[in-house]
A and B are shown apart, each in its own frame.
Chain A
Amino acid sequence: MRSLYISLVSEFYKSRKTLAFWAAIILPLVICSLVAFGFYSGSDKVLNMHYPPIMLWFRYLGAALGVMGVLILPFYVIFMAFSVNNIEHKNDTWKTLFAQPLNKFSIYAAKYLYAVILIFICLFLFAAFTFIFGHLLQVLVPKYTFNQYDPSLILIKFYTKLFLASLGILSIQFILSLLWGDFLKPMGIGFIGTIMGIITGNVGWKYAYLIPYSHPSLVLNSSAGAKKLSNPADFPIFTQEIYTSLIYALVLFIIGYFIVTKKSIK
């Protein structure tokens, strides 16, 4: 456990000046402020639609969620998985890392865990900024009805689902980035995967849930369904695609360990 903790602290220390780390903070901030700005500058149009409070929240958080879940989340995961591993590829530090008196599995697990934590931070901030900016909009445009519905449960559930749905992609990309030090291969495969995921997720292909890249899209599609529920916060978290994502994550995480112990040493 101590090895794991130490390695994790070191991962933070190493990457605190890298884009992968800051993107986890800047991405949600930028996207949420853009969406909020849109709702602020276009407030007349939105008000003319006379949405009930729930629907207003749905419109608003759906705007961030839509861009984010379909495109930005997969690409952030791809880039970040690359970045976390590339820090060792680029500096040729794998062997030094594994020559430290630390448990090998902990070193690898800490790296993976660090990537998971970054996604968590990123999505947590998305939810938090959505919530905060929603209430800020209420202050700026008093005619809005954001204050008449509490979206926290919906936000938490959606972003938890997205978080879990991204773990499958993360594990694939993590292994690809372990194997190859260059950017193009994991990026290329991830790009094709993401496009495939979006298409299969959206056309509602029966087996789309087997492709990890489609999981965020599937989660978002289920959000459209949630609107129709009498209580929109009632949708289940652990659906088929979430289980699949978690199974992918677990299996690939274990495979990745064997790859890293074999590969890093040459």
Chain B
Amino acid sequence: MGNYAIETVGLNFNFGNQAIVKDLSLQVPKGSIYGFLGPNGAGKTTTIKILLNLLKSPADQVFIFGKEINHNRIATLKRVGALVEQPAIYGHLTGKENLINRCLLLGIKRNKADEMLALVGLTEAANKKSTKYSLGMKQRLGIALALVSDPELLLLDEPTNGLDPNGIIEVRNLMIDLATKHNKTILVSSHLLAEIERTATHVGIINKGRLLFQGTINELHLLSKPMLEIEVNKISDAKAFLVQSGYEILEITDKKITVPFTSPQDSGALNTLLIQNGFTVSSLYLQKKDLENLFLDITKNN
């Protein structure tokens, strides 16, 4: 238990009769960037709210840094920074005033506000009313607010929502920076796998309140087995021949045969074998199911 920043044990949560989170067992290792993935309405935001004790979890199901959350609410929240849904910003205050207000609430010196503005690149807009901020600036201010207390654990709910490509890259780099240089644990939710793939070290995939996959990013990649697509003439003969030669056929269409990919050498040997036996191979193609499709498969089948 000691190695997890977040651990939930068979967490269940209902709104009335509707079960939002079912038997969820998250394990977020310290120092990881944990991509929390799922389509809209999967229960991501609800889970994050539970992790912040905004929604009360059943006893002994949620542990932050090994401590049960309901009994250690204040102590736990001191170690957590969060950006939930839209960044919570007071529109009538400037960006700097928003940060100062948070400093007041946390009992931190005011000059921390300037430091945070610099960190997220808002120094120039410090004295501008935050209603006049662009969406990307608001998002960055939201992240700055989450970082004010220098928390060990950051919960970011779709932090790149509505950002332009530049903004997305900035947030991504900031997350990597925080995890590698500042040793923070980050749980970042998203409905876009491509987004998570670039930064996350660990991934959890949730759909309809259930955790469908949890593991390192490499484990996720392993799930998507590479395949070799062979375009060959006399397709049914070729199939019979390959089966006879001990190959496993994954899929066959009227033009292509798909077999598992093992190594480039094996692919070459397979090609030679077919040609030597009188087949014409017009293409050999290494097909890797991308994570996006994998994600869709995982969420669709359940």
Q: Which residues of A pack against B, CB within 8 Å?
A: 2, 6-7, 9-10, 13-14, 17-18, 87, 90-93, 95-103, 264-265
Answer whether residue B165 sits at the interface, using C-beta atoms and an 8 A cutoff. Answer: no
Query: Given the interface contacts A13-B100, A265-B55, does A100 sit within 8 Å of B88 by beta carbon?
Result: no
**Alpha-carbon gap, A98 to B80, bound state (A):** 13
B287 within 8 A of A: no
B89 touches A99 (CB 8 A): no
Contact B106 A96 (CB under 8 A): no
Chain A residues whose CB sits within 8 angstroms of the CB of B73 once the complex forms? 101
B90 beta carbon closer than 8 Å to chain A: yes
Closest chain B residue, CB of each to CB of A90: B91
Q: Binding site of A, secondary structure by majority: helix, strand, loop or mixed?
A: helix
- Could you tell me the distance between the alpha carbons of A96 and B53 in the complex, rounded to whole angstroms? 11
Residue of chain A at shortest CB distance from B92: A17
- With beta carbons under 8 angstroms apart, the residue of B53, B101, B107, B145 that contacts A13 is B101
- Residue B227 interfacial (CB < 8 Å): no
Count residues of B near A (Cβ-Cβ below 8 Å): 31
CA distance A95 to B84 in the complex (A): 8
Alpha-carbon distance A17/B129, docked complex (angstroms): 12
Interface flag for B105 (CB, 8 Å): yes
Which residues of chain B have C-beta atoms less than 8 A from A102's C-beta? Answer: 74, 105
**B74 contacts across to A, CB distance below 8 A:** 101-103
B54 lies within 8 A of A95 (CB): yes
What CA separation (Å) do A103 and B78 show in the bound complex? 12
List, in ascending order, chain B residues with CB within 8 A of A264's CB.
54
Closest Cβ of chain A: how far from B187's Cβ, in Å? 14
B104 contacts partner chain A, Cβ-Cβ < 8 Å: yes
B88 touches A91 (CB 8 A): yes
> Can you pick out 7 interface pairs between chain A and chain B where the beta carbons lie within 8 Å of each other?
A6-B104, A7-B105, A87-B90, A95-B49, A95-B88, A99-B53, A101-B149
Q: Are B91 and A91 in contact (CB under 8 A)?
A: yes
- Would B77 and A101 count as touching, CB distance under 8 A? yes
> When each residue 95-112 of chain B gets 1 if its CB lies under 8 Å from chain A and 0 otherwise, what string results?
001001100111100000
* Interface residue? B236 (CB, 8 A): no
Q: Nearest A residue to B84 by beta-carbon distance?
A: A95
Q: A92-B86, A100-B106 are in contact. Are A14 and B78 (CB under 8 A)?
A: no
Which B residues between 63 and 96 are near A, CB-CB below 8 angstroms? 73-78, 80, 82, 84-86, 88-93
The answer to whether A99 and B90 touch across the interface, beta carbons within 8 angstroms, is no
Query: Residue among A7, A13, A101 with the most chain B CB within 10 A?
Result: A101
Looking across the interface, which residue of chain B has its beta carbon closest to that of A102?
B105
A96 close to B84 (CB less than 8 A): yes
Say whether B228 faces chain A, with CB atoms less than 8 Å apart: no
Shortest Cβ distance from B219 into chain A, in angstroms?
31
- B232 contacts partner chain A, Cβ-Cβ < 8 Å: no
Q: How far is the CA of A252 from the CA of B52 in the complex (A)?
A: 27
Known pairs A6-B107, A99-B52, A101-B75 / 11 extra A-B pairs, C-beta < 8 Å? A13-B101, A17-B93, A90-B91, A92-B88, A93-B90, A95-B54, A95-B84, A100-B106, A101-B74, A102-B74, A265-B49
A99 touching B54, Cβ below 8 Å: yes
Expressed in whole angstroms, the Cα–Cα distance for A10 and B77 within the complex equals 18
Structural contact, A99 and B84, CB atoms closer than 8 A:
yes
Find out whether the CB atom of B101 lies under 8 angstroms from the CB atom of A101: no
Would A99 and B82 be within 8 Å (CB), given that A265-B54, A265-B55 are in contact? yes
Q: B11-23 interface mask toward A, CB cutoff 8 Å, 1 = contact, 0 = none? A: 0000000000000
In the assembled complex, the CB of B83 is this many whole angstroms from the nearest CB of chain A, namely 9
The minimal Cβ–Cβ distance linking A16 to chain B, given in whole angstroms, is 10
Least CB distance, B40 to chain A, in whole angstroms = 17
Q: How far is the CB of B108 from chain A (nearest CB, A)?
A: 11
CA A100 to CA B89, docked complex, whole Å = 14
Residues of B within 8 A of A7 (CB): 105
A91-B89 CB under 8 A given contacts A98-B54, A99-B54, A100-B106: yes
Q: A6-B104, A10-B104, A92-B86 are in contact. Are A99 and B77 (CB under 8 A)?
A: yes
Contact B104 A93 (CB under 8 A): no
Instruction: Give the contacts of B13-63 with A (CB-CB under 8 A).
Output: 49, 52-55
